[in-house]
Structure 1
């Protein structure tokens, strides 16, 4: 099973999905990570604002920050190798790294049955 680590820029909260104007890209990433976790994929997300030690502890990420600054974030590592710098992965990339079908990362809407009032 792959290990996926996402190194986020400083966000207002763990997912960045908060505040008055939510970035739809951050919402997509948070949803995809949730779906991957439900499938048992080892995926971890680090926020520069609240977990700076994780960026220091990972030599590859520290080097990226030293050479490119925070423009290198977000950065993604898969099994210890930097796979993506400066943007979030597409669902296709997440699926490829997790060895699953991209369709498995599409949250299915469930229709609730209405209650009929008399």
Structure 2
């Protein structure tokens, strides 16, 4: 399944616009997951992408946006336009593209 994960800083400050944009992403068929550093620190340390960014940049890396397991953005929240571009360019997982060992074209 296509997935976007948002790793929020402990303050969790984001506007209502971003929350609405995430709802829109969910309506496009993506699983949306959000995690808060203050209440779910183990999720941050157990995700290798997130851990690598935090080890490198510290709290300045937050928020982190992970799209289908890959780092999409760090240090700020994306706009809806950015997320729309990610969705349009995101490859389908093999389970959705391939059938009988052959990929659709």
TM-score, length of structure 1 as denominator length = 0.66
Corresponding residue to 1:80 among 69, 91, 104: 69
5+ residue gaps, structure 2, are 89-105
Corresponding residue to 1:40 among 25, 29, 32: 29
Q: Distance in 1 between matches of 2:85 and 2:2?
A: 10
Deviation of 1:3 after TM superposition, in Å, equals 1.1
Q: Distance in 2 between matches of 1:69 and 1:78?
A: 20
Q: Where has structure 1 moved over 3 Å in runs of 4 or more?
A: none
Q: Kindly indicate whether the alpha-carbon contact (under 8 Å) linking 2:2 and 2:29 is maintained by their aligned counterparts in 1.
A: no
Q: Distance in 2 between matches of 1:36 and 1:78?
A: 11
TM-score, length of structure 2 as denominator length = 0.74
Deviation of 1:28 after TM superposition, in Å, equals 1.0
Q: Distance in 2 between matches of 1:70 and 1:42?
A: 25
Q: Distance in 1 between matches of 2:26 and 2:2?
A: 12
Q: Kindly indicate whether the alpha-carbon contact (under 8 Å) linking 1:7 and 1:47 is maintained by their aligned counterparts in 2.
A: yes
Partner of 1:108: none
**Alignment partner of 1:58 is 2:21:** no
In the alignment of these two chains, the number of paired residues is: 89
Superposed CA RMSD: 1.9
Q: Which has the higher strand share?
A: 2
